[in-house]
């Protein structure tokens, strides 16, 4: 049998004759649950092809936001428009273009990867058997699961299940890929492999990556937003956020015994344990003295600072 070339074009064959540029416009999105908890409050974002990172702490509203985009729940106010289609008025039009990898997903206990992908591909409308097989072969190779394709997915390791999750999300030539906390629980090698997969396909579609892992956003996403308490408190390029702390970040290394006293003296941005000591950081427009030295900010510093600013 002729080998199937491993190229991203295979998952976008269905879209190759249409415009490659996609647009997702979210306006005034709000969601309050029956218990009175307001998960989303007037969220506004516009996304086009490429990787877009959504960063936020646990409980920030990220999963509610992703479920709303994936048409898995209704929302109270606002609009979600994808390539001109309104998700509330015509959810099926969005679903046909959608790939979704939730934080947790179930599988049939005795079905192999190839059987389950074939079943899911039919549900996604890939009815041509030849196209379906090419897509499945490509996605198994892309996610490094070809050697395990006849094994039950329920018996996969955590990393293998996550790779299977991205394979099923890419079935049916999606134009919008929504991924919720994809690298939680993966080891460094698995995370790197997952990042490479996303980078390979990002030009062909909109990929919305929701996570609380700052490093994933920094490594993958040219644009990002921070969601906290249901509200967007930053959107733009990661470097633009880092630049807000330029020449304003200071660092000092202290012992465990000093930490409590220092916390009473200063409003610290972060405390990081390193080699048995605490590395503390604070934001100040002037040199705070007392042994603090200037340090270059990273995205984690800027993220923590943004959250603290919003809390004030």
187 Cβ neighbours under 8 A, 6+ residues apart: 159
Token pair recorded at residue 144:
């490094």
Residues of the chain with pLDDT under 70: 1-19, 184-185
- 182, burial (CB in 10 Å: exposed 0-12, middle 13-18, buried 19+): buried
Considering only the top CATH level, what class is 8-237? alpha beta
What is the rounded distance in angstroms from the CA atom of residue 16 to the CA atom of residue 173?
Answer: 10
Q: Which residue has the tokens 């306006």?
A: 27
Q: What's the confidence (pLDDT) of residue 15?
A: 44
What is the rounded distance in angstroms from the CA atom of residue 121 to the CA atom of residue 48?
Answer: 25
**Bridge partners (DSSP) listed for residue 40:** 31
Q: What's the confidence (pLDDT) of residue 3?
A: 34
For residue 270, how far is the Cα from the chain centroid? 24
Q: What's the confidence (pLDDT) of residue 242?
A: 96
Radius of gyration of the chain (CA): 22
Q: What's the confidence (pLDDT) of residue 142?
A: 87
Please name the residue ranges forming H helices in the chain.
62-69, 91-95, 113-123, 129-142, 158-169, 188-201, 214-220, 238-243, 256-265, 299-311
Q: Which residue has the tokens 């985009």?
A: 69
What pTM was estimated for this model as a whole?
A: 0.87
pLDDT in tens, 79-113: 999 999 999 999 999 998 999 998 878 788 889 99
**Bridge partners (DSSP) listed for residue 208:** 52, 178
What is the rounded distance in angstroms from the CA atom of residue 303 to the CA atom of residue 288?
Answer: 22
Give domain limits for the chain: 8-237, 247-296
Token pair recorded at residue 64:
């509610």
- 277, burial (CB in 10 Å: exposed 0-12, middle 13-18, buried 19+): middle
Q: What's the confidence (pLDDT) of residue 23?
A: 96
What is the rounded distance in angstroms from the CA atom of residue 67 to the CA atom of residue 182?
Answer: 15
Q: What's the confidence (pLDDT) of residue 1?
A: 30
What is the rounded distance in angstroms from the CA atom of residue 102 to the CA atom of residue 117?
Answer: 16
């Amino acid at each position: 049998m002729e080998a199937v070339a491993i190229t991203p074009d295979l998952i976008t064959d269905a879209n190759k004759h249409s415009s490659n540029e996609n647009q997702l416009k979210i306006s005034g999105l709000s969601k309050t649950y029956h218990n009175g908890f307001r998960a989303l409050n007037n969220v506004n974002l516009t996304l086009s092809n490429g990787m877009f990172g959504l960063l936020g702490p646990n409980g920030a509203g990220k999963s509610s936001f992703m479920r709303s985009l994936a048409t898995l729940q209704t929302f109270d106010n606002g609009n979600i428009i994808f390539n001109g289609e309104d998700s509330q008025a015509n959810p099926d039009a969005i679903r046909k273009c959608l790939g979704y990898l939730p934080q947790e997903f179930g599988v049939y206990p005795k079905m192999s990867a190839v059987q389950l992908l074939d079943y899911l591909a039919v549900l996604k409308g890939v009815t041509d058997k030849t196209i379906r097989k090419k897509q499945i072969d490509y996605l198994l190779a892309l996610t490094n699961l070809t050697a395990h394709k006849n094994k039950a997915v329920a018996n996969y390791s955590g990393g293998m299940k996550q790779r299977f999750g991205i394979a099923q999300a890419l079935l049916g030539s999606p134009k919008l890929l929504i991924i919720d906390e994809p690298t939680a629980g993966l080891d460094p090698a698995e995370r790197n492999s997952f990042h490479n997969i996303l980078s390979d396909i990002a030009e062909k579609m909109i990929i919305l990556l929701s996570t609380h892992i700052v490093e994933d956003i920094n490594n993958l996403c040219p644009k990002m937003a921070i969601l906290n308490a249901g509200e967007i408190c930053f959107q733009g390029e990661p470097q633009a956020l880092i630049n807000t702390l330029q020449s304003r970040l200071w660092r000092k290394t202290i012992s465990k015994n000093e930490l409590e006293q220092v916390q009473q003296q200063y409003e610290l941005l972060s405390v990081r344990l390193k080699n048995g000591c605490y590395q503390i950081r604070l934001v100040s427009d002037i040199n705070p003295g007392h042994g603090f030295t200037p340090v270059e900010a990273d995205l984690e510093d800027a993220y923590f600072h943004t959250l603290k600013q919003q809390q004030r």
